[in-house]
Amino acid sequence: MRSAGGRGEIKVRRELQPRKRVPGLANRARTGQEKRNPQRLVLETPSQNVFFSPMSVSTSLAMLSLGAHSITKTQILEGLGFNLTHTPESAIHRGFQHLVHSLTDPSKDLALKMGSALFVKKELQLQENFLGNVKRLYEAEVFSTDFSNPSIAQAKINCHVKKKTQGKVVDIIQGLDLLTAMVLVNHIFFKAKWDKPFYPAYTRKNFPFLVGKQVTVRVPMMHQKEQFAFGMDTELNCFVLQMDYKGDAMAFFVLPNKGKMRQLEQALSARTLRKWSHSLQKRWIEVFIPKFSISASYNLETILPKMGIQNVFDENADFSGITKRDSLQLSKATHKAVLDVSEEGTEAAAATATKFIVRSKDGPSYFTVSFNRTFLIMITNKATDSILFLGKVENPTKS
């Protein structure tokens, strides 16, 4: 794994006409942010590569809810999967606060950075309570921005995101206009080394990968024989391989049996992931995984209404908790993420001396698994038990 970067962006524009450390809490935030986003985005694009950060999307929306009132607030939080009867709003935000803080702790073994920023029209008067909560709970940066020159404002925001994701996510904002009043940005960046890296000399340069039912493309296929946590989910008809990173993260590669991808997609949930993490057993595996790079962008305004988050986009939006005088509604919600998978797991291209043990014929028996057709990949954080990134690789040759 080289690196993965993602960010969720929410742009709020002015209406033309004004209207007349607590683990239990972290678990609640985790459960809500994983309940609907993964399945919805995967199902929306049945024949395309998918890659996004449930954490990034959910944090952006939870942060936005701080300034929402009435049904607008309810739709956002319930759309994220929270039961407001059982979970107070204050507990939800404290849970996200714990997650944000956990993901920004420095580590020598992996780079995992998450943050938020508000770009606010300089004439806009923000509610002090909203501004304080955004900074305290989500550690957000706030920038006074001149939206009277949309191209300059757009360049400023894009530059910020590019810098925060170390150049991985570029030109995320497109088409700002004079009506823009505020842009809310959430970014997440991930870079880690495999605990058991692949040896580049063993990568097969021209390996067949099945796209769909009949088309075959050629990809570089990484290869190694090692002990990994591995198992077969007989209920979902798929193989599951867990590969650890150095540090507090791991990846799950999931290969469904032919014709069973739809069943797997519909069953995706945090509970399924926890079931796998507790049931997999270490065994000798000969594994083939493509070396690839994919990216994906999503206009969430077409997806969020299907999750019940509807009022934010129309004249019924109530964001009176954000600004004192101006009436706001959500005009655009965009998310983009990038994933690179390679032998050593670092972003740097320099080769390093990695371990590869050639086993004799009378060595331990091993199972061979080849990810040479559509598969899922999930990157999780062990400390918070959260899904950082989720992807479906339909065609590894398409970036």
What pLDDT does residue 49 have? 87
DSSP 55-79: HHHHHHHHHHHTT--HHHHHHHHHH
What pLDDT does residue 20 have? 34
Helix (H, G, I), strand (E, B) or coil at 359: coil
The total of other beta-carbon atoms located within 10 Å of residue 278's CB is 7
Q: Where in the chain is the domain with CATH 3.30.497.10?
A: 3-192+294-339
End-to-end C-alpha distance for the chain, whole angstroms: 15
> Do residues 84 and 77 lie in contact, with contact meaning Cβ atoms separated by under 8 Å?
yes
Mean pLDDT by 10 residues, the chain (399 residues): 56 42 41 48 70 87 92 93 91 92 75 83 87 93 88 92 86 82 83 88 92 92 93 92 89 92 85 86 93 82 84 85 78 79 52 28 71 93 83 89
What pLDDT does residue 29 have? 46
Domain 3-192+294-339, CATH 3.30.497.10 — does that match? yes
What pLDDT does residue 78 have? 92
What pLDDT does residue 101 have? 85
Angstrom distance (rounded) from CA 203 to CA 199: 7
What pLDDT does residue 352 have? 24
Nearest alpha-carbon partner for 367 in 239, 263, 247: 239
What pLDDT does residue 326 have? 67
What pLDDT does residue 9 have? 59
Q: Where in the chain is the domain with CATH 2.30.39.10?
A: 200-292+344-393
Q: Which CATH number fits domain 200-292+344-393: 1.10.357.10, 1.10.3720.10, 1.10.3300.10, 2.30.39.10?
A: 2.30.39.10
Radius of gyration from C-alpha coordinates of the chain: 22
Q: Element (H or E) spanning 325, and its range?
A: none
